[in-house]
Amino acid sequence: MAQHVAVEAPADEVFDLIVDVRRWPQFFGSLVHTSVGPADGDATDVVRCWGVRGESSVRAWSARRWIDRDKLQITFDNDPPPPGATTSRGWWEVEPSGAEACRVTLRHEVSGGDAPAEVLARVGEEFDRHSRAQLGELKATAERRKDLEELVIGWEDTLFVSGSAEDAWAILYEADKWPERIPHVARIDMIEPSPGIQFFDMDTSTPDGRAHTTRSVRVCLPYELIVYKQITLPPMLEAHTGHWRFEETPEGTILGARHTVTLKRSKLSLLGPDTTVADARRYARRVLGTNSMKNLQIAKAYAEERADG
Is the separation of the CB atoms in 32 and 165 below 8 Å?
no
- For the chain, how big is the Rg over CA atoms in Å? 21
Report DSSP letters for 194-236, one per residue. Answer: ETTEEEEEEEEE-TTS-EEEEEEEEEEETTTEEEEEEEE--TT
Q: Rounded distance, CA 92 to CA 106, Å?
A: 5
**Common-topology check for domains 2-143 and 151-308:** yes
Q: Residue 294: its pLDDT value, please?
A: 96
Q: How far is CA 92 from CA 63, 67, 105, in A?
A: 13, 9, 6
Q: Which ranges of the chain have pLDDT less than 70?
A: 309
Task: Assign domain 151-308 to its CATH superfamily.
Answer: START domain (3.30.530.20)
Q: Residue 126: its pLDDT value, please?
A: 86
Q: Residue 234: its pLDDT value, please?
A: 94
The pTM (predicted TM-score) of the whole model is 0.94
Is the separation of the CB atoms in 99 and 69 below 8 Å?
no
Q: Residue 309: its pLDDT value, please?
A: 67
Stated length of the chain: 309
What is the identity of the amino acid at 41? G
Reduce the DSSP state of residue 168 to 3 states and report it. Answer: helix
Other CB atoms within a 10 A radius of the CB of residue 185 amount to 19
Q: In what order do the strands lie in the sheet with 102-111?
A: 2-7, 102-111, 87-96, 73-79, 57-68, 45-53, 31-37
Q: Identify the architecture of domain 2-143 in CATH.
A: 2-Layer Sandwich (3.30)
Q: What confidence tens digit (pLDDT) does each residue in 148-173 have?
A: 999 999 999 999 999 999 999 999 99
Other CB atoms within a 10 A radius of the CB of residue 123 amount to 22
Q: Rounded distance, CA 172 to CA 170, Å?
A: 6
Distance from the Cα of residue 23 to its chain's centroid: 8
Is the separation of the CB atoms in 254 and 161 below 8 Å?
yes
Q: Domain ranges for the chain, please list them.
A: 2-143, 151-308
HSE-CB at 90 with a 13 A cutoff on CA atoms is 20
